Amino acid sequence: MLLTLLARLPGPFKSIAERFDRTPIDSVENLCLFARTRASFVAQTTLFGYLKARMGTQFREYFTDEVFAQAIQDSSVKVFVSCLSDLTVHVVAIVAESARLAPQEAQAIARLCFDKGMRGGLVDIEPAKVPADARERFEQRLRETDWSAAAVGAAAFSLSPVDLPRFAPVVDEFKRLDRKIVATSIGNKWREVRASFQDRVVPDSIASDWRSASGS
């Protein structure tokens, strides 16, 4: 039922099928695609799963309310941006650490993937609904990122566990009460994504592709 309802809503989540891709991630293009599609899927399933848990049997009815459906879309955009930021930093950090990329190279690849993710993931979204400071905040994050640390475990996933309950269209009391549960839920999703990425990524090929394209 959840996927059926999701399909009826406009928004950044067009890539459910791409989640099941198992081909090697061996180019910058594939790296950016992975970041966008998995960020989209995690944002989608955790946000709507949380709402379903809170609304219970009335879940389907809420989706017929245009005002609430719009509130869900607005929330989904913000959660997607946070997920994209977290995952982009992590996957680029893995490549940078394994292929010994310079910090400047890691920043450039991350910037490219974040930009591609924003444009590809939010293609149907009105510009006014996209956080105006999203790219500025990501640039600030890049300047502060320790790439070696970001490659380890869940270190890079600092925004999405906080922003999911923060932006979800539920009352403040629920946001406070559910914070730890929601963080655990999205943490489990990210664990699966990290495992999938490790199985598929070919860091040296990505680094070679980047340097070939940039003339390095």
Q: Where are the domains of the chain?
A: 26-214
Is residue 16's pLDDT more than 90? no
For residue 9, what pLDDT band results from cuts at 50, 70 and 90?
very low
CA 128 from centre of chain: 20
Contact 116, 128 (CB under 8 A): no
Contact 129, 68 (CB under 8 A): no
Read off the tokens for 155: 């270190």
Determine the pLDDT at residue 142.
98
> pLDDT digits over 126-181, tens only?
999 999 999 999 999 999 999 999 999 999 999 999 999 999 988 888 888 888 99
Which residue, 47, 46, 68, is CA-closest to 58? 68
Read off the tokens for 1: 């039922």
Determine the pLDDT at residue 196.
96
What gap in Å lies between CA 144 and CA 161, rounded to an integer? 19
Is residue 58's pLDDT more than 80? no
- Residue 201: phi and psi, rounded to 5, are -75, 140
How many CB atoms are located within 10 Å of the residue 214 CB? 11
What gap in Å lies between CA 52 and CA 47, rounded to an integer? 9
- How high does pLDDT run on average in the chain? 88
- Residue 25: phi and psi, rounded to 5, are -95, 95
